Amino acid sequence: MNAVLAYFLRDMRRWLRGRFNVWSALVMPAAWLIFVGLALPTRFTESYLDFIAPGILVLTMLSAGMQGGSSLIFDKILGFLNKFLALPSPREAILFGKILFTTVRGLLQATVIMLLAILLGATIFSPAMVGFAYLVLLVFGILLSAFSTALALYVEDHDGYAAVNALLSMPLFFTSSALMPYDVMPSWLAAIARYNPVSWAIDAIRSFAAPPVLWASLAGLGLLALAMVAGSSYLFRRVTV
């Protein structure tokens, strides 16, 4: 745990020192919440802000999670990763430190978005729902950060990683249930969205406000997260840079 915390604190200090990075990460989710949640007229819900807020929380974690591999890319480019891999601490400590940092960073950003949603008039965030939303975001963040960190092992540079990130992030978001319910989607899009892990996270959070709670969606995310962490650990044990 000491090695994991050392890697976590290193990345957290570096992130907090870049104040522009801290605030710029909130611009896109906040813009979606304000300009779409408040301005878009809909017929399928009385409060579109309440409907879209869980989707924007998951979008925030999606963005933070998929950016998690960026720090590993910089470590590779600057030569730090080779030194970390040669240390006597387990290689998995690097992975777990990155997962912890990326997930905590995403939760901090999601907290700001949640507070903004409440200030804008969202009414679904009871204390119990806030706790449940954090649980879902935590599991989802672990899944994404394990995937993005493992992906960064095999991408050569930051530009290539940014291209892969863009290729995956926005299609995952737009083919989810973030912006509209399944019954108003085209049939082909609804079929894709039901099997999208982003939808599972969004639907789980929404279901707490309109029971029954979709524990199966949360369980599915948990199983995917465990499988991704196990696979990423295997890759870190075998990787050569």
Report field, pTM of the whole predicted structure over 0.85? yes
Q: Grade residue 24 by pLDDT with cuts at 50, 70 and 90.
A: confident
44, pLDDT greater than 80:
no
Distance CA 203, CA 117 (A): 18
Comparing 32-46, 73-87, 122-136, 224-238, the range with the smallest average pLDDT is: 32-46
If DSSP codes are grouped into helix, strand and coil, which group holds residue 193?
Answer: helix
Each residue's pLDDT tens digit, 68-88: 888 888 888 888 888 888 888
Q: Grade residue 241 by pLDDT with cuts at 50, 70 and 90.
A: low
* Exposure string over 86-100, b if 16+ CB within 10 A, otherwise e: eeeeebbbbbbbbbb
Q: Grade residue 47 by pLDDT with cuts at 50, 70 and 90.
A: confident
Predicted pLDDT of residue 238: 81
Report for 65-69, 86-90, 146-150: range of highest mean pLDDT: 146-150
Comparing 57-61, 88-92, 219-223, the range with the smallest average pLDDT is: 88-92
Distance CA 231, CA 207 (A): 30
- What is the number of H-type helices and E-type strands within the chain? 12, 0
Both tokens of 230, joined, read 């196990």
Distance CA 239, CA 15 (A): 26
In angstroms, what is the C-alpha Rg of the chain?
A: 18
Q: Grade residue 97 by pLDDT with cuts at 50, 70 and 90.
A: very high
Predicted pLDDT of residue 200: 96
Both tokens of 241, joined, read 């840079």
**Contacts made by residues 147-150, CB under 8 angstroms, sequence distance 24+:** 147/65, 147/228, 147/232, 148/65, 148/66, 148/67, 148/68, 148/69, 148/102, 149/68, 149/69, 149/72, 149/95, 149/98, 149/99, 149/102, 149/232, 150/95, 150/228, 150/231, 150/232, 150/235, 150/236
Q: What residue numbers bound the domain in which 112 lies? A: 2-238
> Distance of alpha carbon 29 from its chain centroid, rounded?
12
Quote the number of domains for the chain.
1
Average pLDDT across the chain, whole number: 88
